[in-house]
Amino acid sequence: MAQQETDEQISVDDEGFVVDTEDCEAREAAHRERGTSRPITVVGNPVLHKECKDVTEFDDELARLIDDMFASQRTAEGVGLAANQIGVDLKVFVYDCPDDEGVRHVGAVCNPVLEELAPEDRVLDDSNEGCLSVPTAYASLARPDYAVVRGQDAKGNPVKVRGSGYFARCLQHETDHLYGYLYIDRLSKRDRKDALRQMAENTPRYEIVPND
Ligand SMILES: [Zn+2]
């Protein structure tokens, strides 16, 4: 059940989770059309390898950043994008991602914190994972198939987002980014090396920020 509220307020379901499955096409298009697509930073760029700064100003500048992130995510055909992937040192990510039932979720989270799962809720899924900042590479990585992230929306309202399947993977992957971790940092040495080799051998289909 979804509780619909007025314009500027967030809608939450009866368990307090943000409703991010309604009007996805219109909301994503509105952000993307206001925004400007920017090139994507890649592994080795220092901005990807340190914890980002907390968002403290929920102003027009933040709204413009989120618009640019949606535009960039679409250009690069991503399902999630963290601010440091367009070179911005701030804890915010956006997503446009299907869950394990194929339901599309669209939203933005500032200052995300992943909730610890109870051991009985920790079911690992070892699907393939990729990252716009490690272009063209994929590797299998075991992660819990359910995730809850707490944070704030673009206006500073507290939000909690939950995801299953691929969307749970996305929430964990994007939160990792904002703390300076790439998914390849969670791989074995051998798999990490293989991912970097895939990246070196192929050409990304979108514009990247070259490393020095
Ligand atoms: Zn990524």
Q: Distance from the CA of 158 to the center of ligand 1, in angstroms?
A: 24
Q: Is residue 17 in a domain?
A: no
Asked if residue 131 belongs to a known ligand binding site, the reply is: yes
Give me the pLDDT at residue 193, please: 98
Q: Distance from the CA of 118 to the center of ligand 1, in angstroms?
A: 26
Q: In total, how many domains does the chain have?
A: 1
At 65, list the tokens: 């950043």
> Would you give the DSSP letter of residue 60?
H
The stretches in the chain having pLDDT less than 70 are 1-9
State how far the Cα of 63 lies from the Cα of 41, in Å rounded to an integer: 21
State how far the Cα of 97 lies from the Cα of 170, in Å rounded to an integer: 8
Q: Which domain holds residue 44?
A: 24-203
Q: Distance from the CA of 48 to the center of ligand 1, in angstroms?
A: 9
Give me the pLDDT at residue 9, please: 62
Q: What is the pTM of this model?
A: 0.94
CATH of the domain at 180: 3.90.45.10
Q: Distance from the CA of 2 to the center of ligand 1, in angstroms?
A: 30
Q: Give 91-103 pLDDT, tens digit per residue.
A: 999 999 999 999 9
State how far the Cα of 58 lies from the Cα of 111, in Å rounded to an integer: 11
- Cα 139 to chain center, whole Å? 18
Helices (DSSP H) in the chain: which residue ranges?
24-34, 60-75, 165-178, 189-201
Give me the pLDDT at residue 134, please: 98
Q: Is residue 11 in a domain?
A: no
CA triple 171-185-132, angle to 5 deg: 55
Q: Is residue 5 in a domain?
A: no
In the residue annotation, 174 being an active-site residue is answered as yes
Give me the pLDDT at residue 6, please: 44
> Would you give the DSSP letter of residue 50?
S
Task: Compute, in degrees rounded to 10, the torsion defined by CA atoms 198, 199, 202, 207.
Answer: 160
State how far the Cα of 79 lies from the Cα of 126, in Å rounded to an integer: 18
Q: Is residue 18 in a domain?
A: no
Asked if residue 49 belongs to a known ligand binding site, the reply is: no
State how far the Cα of 111 lies from the Cα of 169, in Å rounded to an integer: 18
- Residue 82 pairs in a beta bridge with 93
Give me the pLDDT at residue 137, please: 98
> How would DSSP label each residue in 73-87?
HHHTT-SEEEGGGGT
Q: Is residue 142 in a domain?
A: yes
Q: Distance from the CA of 21 to the center of ligand 1, in angstroms?
A: 22
